[in-house]
Amino acid sequence: MKTHSLKYLTVIVCLLLSGPALVNAKPDKVDGENYPSGRVPQEIKNNNYPRSYFPNTEKLGENEMRIIALGTGMPTQTPNNKSAAFLVELGNGDSFLFDLGSGSTDNLAGIQPDYSKLNKVFASHLHTDHIGDLASLWIAGWIGGRYLPLEVWGPSGATPELGTASMVNHIEKAWAWDVTARSGILPDAGGKLISHEFDFSKTAVIYAKNDVEITAFPAIHNMDSAVSYRLDWNGLSFVFGGDSFPNQWFLKNAKGADVVVHECFFTPEQWMKIAGFPYKQAYWVTSKIHTPPEGFGKIMSAVEPRMAVAYHYWNHRDIEFEIFEKVRKTYDGPLTMANDLTVINVTKDHIEVREATINQEAWAQGTAKEWDNAPRSETKDSLMSDWLIKGGISDFVPPPRPQ
């Protein structure tokens, strides 16, 4: 027994002395797209989708849209209900994020995306449960493989300081230490945050590129500056509502769309039960600045989507069934009560709804060669004071290997 142990120990020591092989964590390229190393995505034929969606195992068809609910919950998110966020992936290779509420980047990380493609965010309004994870994506996506600026489209405010440009500017200022500290290590352009603020009061195309057209239109919520969006591409359409009271703009722009996502908030009685609000305040929250279940149903009966998607409530069983029953009083069409990680695949002749199964310990794909070779500044020891550098103990760290 001792002889065997000594033999194994000798082998281990020899391996350590010889130095480990340098193996970089790089994604694999399949048909020009990045996937986590070892994943071989399969083509879906005859609409025969697996019951669960395992991220990065399926090729998206060239005429297909995939929608993933990254967050479907509230400002006080729960472990299984992050705040609002929806990812839309298109068969032309484009990806778009509609809202990015608090906690939603946890679920985004779980699907192991290609962060280099996640550089377009569309904010419906500036509540934290709809855009609170912007800074997290900005930095984590930069480290994880994005080598281009993160661009944010969002509405103007009643005054300049209440608009998207002001929010983005203040996020940049708030995280100046973070970005400066990473200078030179990461690609320069990936550390930039760019805002595209548009007039919230106008119905207008605010994005048109690569045959994708995104239209913004006014929504009614709390105060001036909330919007909804419609994405059109290749004969397919996706409509996303953040928070909104039922309104004429939504009925007009969502009419006949393939997938329509709209909040389906609690009833006043449910909000009293959950939050403890008195009825007057509970009614104001649920029915003056949000849309309760029967209102959601009436909206969907009016716009007649191929698939209606309800979200923005906690998926507790004692609440969800009540919400479903009230929706069905006013709407009897195709309906998805979205959970976090609900997945919807859309083609012109088929819609598939299922859930994603993720690895809770998933790592990022790793940086691609484009990220490695993107321009960057020189790293600087001068970011620290001389006295601080002199306090280091270099003998505790092995010297760098020859390059």
Q: Is 82 part of a structural domain of the chain?
A: yes
DSSP for 87-121, written as a single string: EEEETTS-EEEE---TTHHHHHHHT---GGG--EE
Residue 22 reports pLDDT greater than 60: no
Q: Is 28 part of a structural domain of the chain?
A: no
Query: What distance in Å separates the CA atoms of residue 194 and residue 165, rounded to the nearest whole number?
Result: 8
| Complete edge-to-edge strand list for the sheet that includes strand 65-71 | 52-53, 350-356, 342-347, 65-71, 85-90, 95-98, 120-122, 150-155, 193-198
Q: Select the more confidently predicted residue: 363 or 14.
A: 363
Mean pLDDT along residues 44-68: 97
Q: Is 195 part of a structural domain of the chain?
A: yes
Query: For 367, phi and psi rounded to 5 degrees?
Result: -80, 145
Structure tokens at 166: 């002001």
Beta carbons of 57 and 43 less than 8 angstroms apart: no
- In this predicted model, what pLDDT tens digit does every residue of 280-293 receive, in sequence order? 999 999 999 999 99
Q: Is 111 part of a structural domain of the chain?
A: yes
Average the pLDDT over each of 10-24, 129-143, 151-165, 237-251 and give the range with the smallest value. Answer: 10-24
Q: What is the CATH number of the domain that holds 217?
A: 3.60.15.10
Residue 219 reports pLDDT greater than 80: yes
Percent of the chain residues topping a pLDDT of 70 = 94
Among candidate residues 264, 312, 314, 309, the one with its CA nearest the CA of residue 79: 314
Q: Is 24 part of a structural domain of the chain?
A: no
Q: Is 261 part of a structural domain of the chain?
A: yes
Query: What distance in Å separates the CA atoms of residue 254 and residue 34, rounded to the nearest whole number?
Result: 33
**How many other C-beta atoms lie within 10 A of the C-beta of residue 49?**
16
pLDDT band for position 339 (cuts 50, 70, 90): very high
Q: Is 384 part of a structural domain of the chain?
A: no
Average the pLDDT over each of 99-108, 233-242, 358-367 and give the range with the smallest value. Answer: 358-367
Mean pLDDT along residues 72-77: 91
Confidence at residue 23, expressed as pLDDT on a 0 to 100 scale: 58
- In this predicted model, what pLDDT tens digit does every residue of 250-281 receive, in sequence order? 999 999 999 999 999 999 999 999 899 999 99
Confidence at residue 7, expressed as pLDDT on a 0 to 100 scale: 45
Q: What would the 3-class secondary structure string for 51-69 be? A: CEECCCCEECCCCCEEEEE
Mean pLDDT along residues 110-139: 97
Confidence at residue 24, expressed as pLDDT on a 0 to 100 scale: 74
Confidence at residue 54, expressed as pLDDT on a 0 to 100 scale: 97
Q: Which amino acid is at 156?
A: S
Q: Select the more confidently predicted residue: 61 or 389.
A: 61
Query: What distance in Å separates the CA atoms of residue 332 and residue 8, rounded to the nearest whole number?
Result: 68
- In this predicted model, what pLDDT tens digit does every residue of 107-120 receive, in sequence order? 999 999 999 999 99
Looking at the structure of the chain, the number of domains it has is: 1
Residue 3 reports pLDDT greater than 70: no
Domain that residue 194 falls in? 48-362
Average the pLDDT over each of 36-40, 203-207, 217-221, 302-306 and give the range with the smallest value. Answer: 36-40
Q: Residue for token digits 């006043």?
A: 268
Q: Is 4 part of a structural domain of the chain?
A: no
